[in-house]
Structure 1
Amino acid sequence: MCNDYRLEVDIASIAEDFEDLKIKIRMPEGAPNVPARADIRMTDMASIVRSVEGERGVGDLVNRRWSWLSPKGKPVYNFRSEGRAFTSHRCLILADGFYEFTDPADPKQKRLDKWLFTMADHPWFCIAGIWRDSPVGEAFTMLTMDAGPDVAPYHHRQIIPLARDQWADWLDATVSAEEVLRWLPPGSLPVTQVYGNPPAQGQLVL
């Protein structure tokens, strides 16, 4: 499951992209001041666009913690989407890549293989998420579903990158989650090996 992602695109470029899609971005806390990062990990602060209840085509760009704490004290950084409506507290998580880790094909290799997934048709994208208040402050998590064709060779579950024409719908809680949360077409998420050995041909890593 995804516990590491990337955002190296500057916030100014991101705001311009939202404007092109006729999504009004507000910055109620000022422009998020975050450095470009190749690795964003659970408990890190990162930029999200929160839905504004009752207003379509509007989102608040803020920095929030990735993961809240479960009742047992473990970080909730991924959240199953199946069977849930998400009628409030939706958000778009800004990214230009996300990572999956697999067991190495070579048993002598001690560290996991690391794979970077990006978006084929744009330099950055949004991941479907939700946010909530918590004892550690407002925090967000990434929604997950069964893996689609691009991710399945590397993991049996995946987070949910959204196509650009889905962003406004995800910020609009009147649009059903079922309509928005779906796989992208095959080939949408090209993958690059960061380190390690690739799986054997046809191997499915679970």
Structure 2
Amino acid sequence: MCNAYEQHVKWVEYCKMMQALELGIPTQQSELDLPESDDVRVNDMAPVMRAARNNIELVSMNFSFPPSGPKGGPVFNFRSEGRSFANSNRCLIPASGFFEFTGKKYPKKKHRFTLGGQPFLAIAGLWREAEGNHPQNFTMLTTSPGPDIAP
């Protein structure tokens, strides 16, 4: 379960990728909409990519959905198997790498995963509108790990 990632996506690399995919970037967007972070963790604000008319906009949102009940915790991963997200607010989370942890005792061993040879990757996610005192927020979609990631 991924609960941390790094965001060192360079604006120029982001723009190159968007141009290669023939996707528009809103004219008001700049490198300020893609702030770097060594460790984006649950409840941190971070940029996500989402559809906006004929463009893909970067929007800062809170990493995790609020708890569903009074005793629940934040929802930072959402399993995708057996579910349809056709009517959901889908997004992509730009990241230069993500972290997984192994071990049962603190401190756990931290493992960093990147997309070899590429400047960044985009993690599938879902986002929600702001509600009450909660800002717009997002969660990562997860699936069973492949052999290159499974412990």
1:27-51 superposed Cα distances (whole Å, 9 cap, x missing partner): 66x4344542110101111111112
SS in structure 1 of the partner of residue 25 of structure 2: strand
Q: Report if aligned partners of 2:7, 2:95 keep a CA contact under 8 Å in 1.
A: yes
Q: What is the aligned partner in structure 1 of residue 117 from structure 2?
A: 121
Question: Given the two structures, how large is their TM-score scaled by the length of structure 1?
Answer: 0.64
Shift of 1:24: 1.5
Distance 1:79 1:122 in 2: 26
Q: What is the aligned partner in structure 2 of residue 194 from structure 1?
A: none
Q: What is the aligned partner in structure 2 of residue 25 from structure 1?
A: 25
Distance 1:140 1:66 in 2: 5
| One-letter amino acid matched to 1:70 | P
Gaps of 5+ in 1: 154-206
Question: Given the two structures, how large is their TM-score scaled by the length of structure 2?
Answer: 0.85
Q: Percent identity between the aligned chains?
A: 40
Q: What is the aligned partner in structure 2 of residue 170 from structure 1?
A: none
Distance 1:124 1:44 in 2: 20
Q: What is the aligned partner in structure 1 of residue 62 from structure 2?
A: 65
Gaps of 5+ in 2: none
CA RMSD of aligned residues (A): 2.0
Q: What is the aligned partner in structure 2 of residue 2 from structure 1?
A: 2
Q: Report if aligned partners of 1:27, 1:62 keep a CA contact under 8 Å in 2.
A: no
Distance 2:9 2:103 in 1: 30
1:112-142 superposed Cα distances (whole Å, 9 cap, x missing partner): 0000000013020100001012431211110
Q: Report if aligned partners of 2:9, 2:94 keep a CA contact under 8 Å in 1.
A: no
Q: What is the aligned partner in structure 1 of residue 74 from structure 2?
A: 75
Distance 2:67 2:58 in 1: 25
- The number of residue pairs the alignment matches comes to 145
Distance 1:70 1:147 in 2: 25
1:86-111 superposed Cα distances (whole Å, 9 cap, x missing partner): 1231101000100001006xxxx741
Q: Between Structure 1 and Structure 2, whose CA radius of gyration is higher?
A: 1
SS in structure 2 of the partner of residue 74 of structure 1: coil
Distance 2:35 2:68 in 1: 32
